[in-house]
Structure 1
Amino acid sequence: MHSFDVGNTSQRADLFPSPVGETPPGAVACTNMSPLEALGLPELPADLIRVEEALRSSVAHSDPFLADVAGHLVAAGGKRLRPALTICSAYASSGASSSKHLERSASTDAISGGCSVELVHIGSLYHDDVIDEAETRRGVESVNSRWSNIVAILAGDFLLARASEIAASLGADVAALLASTITELCRGQILELQHTFDADHDRDTYLSAIAGKTASLFGTSCRIGGMVSGADEPTLDALTAFGEHLGMCFQIVDDILDLTAEAETLGKPAGNDIMEGVYTLPVICAREASPELRSMLGEKVTQDQANAIRDIVRKSDGLQIAREFANSEADQAKEALANAKALDPAITSGMCHLVETLIVRST
């Protein structure tokens, strides 16, 4: 097992791309701002280091091979956005005065909750890489490529089981919530797989798939933060709604970037979704008005053909329609927090700024 050295700047770089400062109210989001910077909470990095330590502890095992495989992507780092949402939701539900923000520290239960949702996310990545036949993930060799598909599947199962164990330690309600979320993740992913290379894939099916595979875990990440902080049911529902709408926005923006950004920015081939037969919202919306595009979908394509499809989508209204969907989800996320009067506004303002930063990424 690799140990996490908080003094190792190469390990810290992915978690904390640059010092996290407080974002003034009404500040304009920047396209190069990391999620943690957007939240603008000086206390968050220290608590995310605690999550990192919990993650590494959770994948430790007496079998060194299992420990190495299970810890492979944990050691590779990541944005840790989901545990950050758990911790921020716990902060917001704690009722702490904004003037005391520098003294705020997440509870042990909030750290455990953040660890559990991140383990679910990482476990799902192990399975995704098998499905996609991916060779790399987060700048390192994927588990399926380094070892085998069978090892990757079983290691992903191990991580999901560990997440469930941790959730159970937080109470039956949290355990049940995480279990239902894993069910939703599977439902959404299966729905997406059912419609690969489906030239008639429609908006409603796309939205249902991403609600399951992405938004459900975002919502659960926020809800767990409120649950471990004793928030009442209306507040929990508001946090869940925020997370779910944020997750929808996050996925739509990610799908837009697959069509507009270049490979260097994405860390994968541009138009990768098209190559895999996953027709996302911009493609669906563009296809509705283009018989030419419809005729190019429905079968495997070369990189040159994928680039031609990207060009058609870029010149259509598909991207703008998708951005409007993302904007709507962003507005609903912010509205959910605005209606939750029990939440600390010093925290929810940062959470809203995170939403705005996502929207700027899509333009």
Structure 2
Amino acid sequence: MARSPLDLVPTMGRDLDRLELRLEASVQTQDPFLTEVAGHLIRAGGKRVRPGFVIAAAAIGQDPPTPATDDVLTGGVAVELVHLGSLYHDDVMDEAQVRRNVASVNAKWGNLRAILAGDFLLARASELAASLGTEVAGLLAATIGKLCEGQVRELQDTGNPARSETSYTDSIEGKTASLLATSCRIGGLVGGLDRVTVDALTEFGRYYGLAFQVVDDILDIVATDEHLGKPSGNDLHEGIYTLPVIRALDSPCGPQLTELLGGAASDANVRSALQLVRASGGVEEALDVARHYVHQASASLNSLAPTTATAALQVATDHLIERARVPLGDR
């Protein structure tokens, strides 16, 4: 099975295979234990969306695409290490037990080691970005800051049933969209593309990231644990009210849902809250918002040359809505 639609382009699929080897090599240290902990989620696999976008963005001006250069692969490894480092830290904050169908790092080795390993991944990502020049290094450093800002915004509204859509959007801009925008921008920069194209790719990554997070939040409401690779309904359990919940709170189900959310965060209450959100129409409304972001992402691609890489990014974008529709069935 393909990791992502980019795998359907033979050259890009081979580039992702090369990147996988580089990713594993990037966390090798003289300390076997640190190497094991830092590589835990790498070995668990993943779609590698962010490095895939680095590779695709760099190939926008080529048709057919040529094999990715060392600099392109280095950029891809750097953004994936930032993503993984953020997951290590997120799982500590959420007290998560499972990630990608394996034990989370904090569950396996404890919070302290998970935090330090996450710091190591961010440091290694920064080191790799520095090898690509000051612009890429500064861009990645600023993006790590945006990830933190987005997470802080989310924490500030934890347990707040009055959370606004503006607060939600600001949070996902930082914690998700910023890194996907940066992935596309780094690909364009190291690929030597003109600034107009680099800016269009950055805009594409931003809108894709917004859609990606909305879909992810929908899946947390409607998908199974097996589908997600982690427990479903976890956001509600943690008091994180995402777009489907915000819309449900503004529906006729709102008062009953507010009462449930104000009670104990028991498994029974979470199950009841999930049922209310699903019945409220909030999921369908959130999916409409995701479709809007997908449309904006596609519009950003319209200004790019109609190459194989552009088509691959479009297929990846179309795939987002399909991700949400599978567990939704024919709604």
Instruction: Give distance in 2, aligned partners of 1:315 and 1:39.
Output: 37
Q: List runs of 5+ in structure 2 lacking aligned partners.
A: 326-331
Match of 2:303 among 332, 336, 339: 339
SS of aligned partner of 1:43: helix
TM-score w.r.t. length of structure 1: 0.86
SS of aligned partner of 2:248: helix
Instruction: Give distance in 1, aligned partners of 2:36 and 2:225.
Output: 29
The residue identity in structure 2 corresponding to 1:147 is W
Structure 1 equivalent of residue 267 of structure 2: 303
For residue 241 of structure 1, report the CA deviation from its aligned partner. 0.7
Q: Verify the 8 A CA contact 1:275 1:300 in the aligned structure 2.
A: no
- Identity among equivalent pairs (%): 49
Instruction: Give distance in 2, aligned partners of 1:65 and 1:300.
Output: 39
For residue 261 of structure 1, report the CA deviation from its aligned partner. 1.5
Structure 2 equivalent of residue 57 of structure 1: 25
Q: List runs of 5+ in structure 1 lacking aligned partners.
A: 1-16, 19-33
Instruction: Give distance in 2, aligned partners of 1:77 and 1:56.
Output: 11
Show CA shifts across 1:246-299 (max 9, x none): 111111011111111122222233211111111110100110122221222245
Show CA shifts across 1:212-236 (max 9, x none): 0011000000100000011122111
Structure 1 equivalent of residue 293 of structure 2: 329
Compared CA separation, residues 362 and 139, structure 1 to 2 (3 A): closer
Alignment of 1:1-363 (within 5 A): 17-18=1-2, 36-37=4-5, 40-92=8-60, 95-97=61-63, 100-101=64-65, 104-289=66-251, 290-340=254-304, 343-363=305-325
Q: Verify the 8 A CA contact 2:62 2:307 in the aligned structure 1.
A: no
Number of equivalenced pairs: 323
Q: Verify the 8 A CA contact 2:100 2:228 in the aligned structure 1.
A: no
Compared CA separation, residues 160 and 81, structure 1 to 2 (3 A): same
Q: Verify the 8 A CA contact 1:198 1:298 in the aligned structure 2.
A: no
Structure 2 equivalent of residue 9 of structure 1: none
Structure 2 equivalent of residue 27 of structure 1: none
Instruction: Give distance in 2, aligned partners of 1:156 and 1:313.
Output: 34
Instruction: Give distance in 1, aligned partners of 2:206 and 2:217.
Output: 17
Q: Verify the 8 A CA contact 1:39 1:351 in the aligned structure 2.
A: no
Instruction: Give distance in 2, aligned partners of 1:180 and 1:268.
Output: 29
Instruction: Give distance in 2, aligned partners of 1:86 and 1:171.
Output: 16
For residue 38 of structure 1, report the CA deviation from its aligned partner. 6.1
Q: Verify the 8 A CA contact 1:184 1:212 in the aligned structure 2.
A: yes
Q: Verify the 8 A CA contact 1:96 1:344 in the aligned structure 2.
A: no
The residue identity in structure 2 corresponding to 1:84 is G
Q: Verify the 8 A CA contact 1:239 1:337 in the aligned structure 2.
A: yes
The residue identity in structure 2 corresponding to 1:76 is A
Instruction: Give distance in 1, aligned partners of 2:44 and 2:324.
Output: 26
Instruction: Give distance in 2, aligned partners of 1:239 and 1:185.
Output: 19
| Bigger proportion of residues as helix | 2
CA RMSD of aligned residues (A): 1.4
Q: Verify the 8 A CA contact 2:11 2:67 in the aligned structure 1.
A: yes
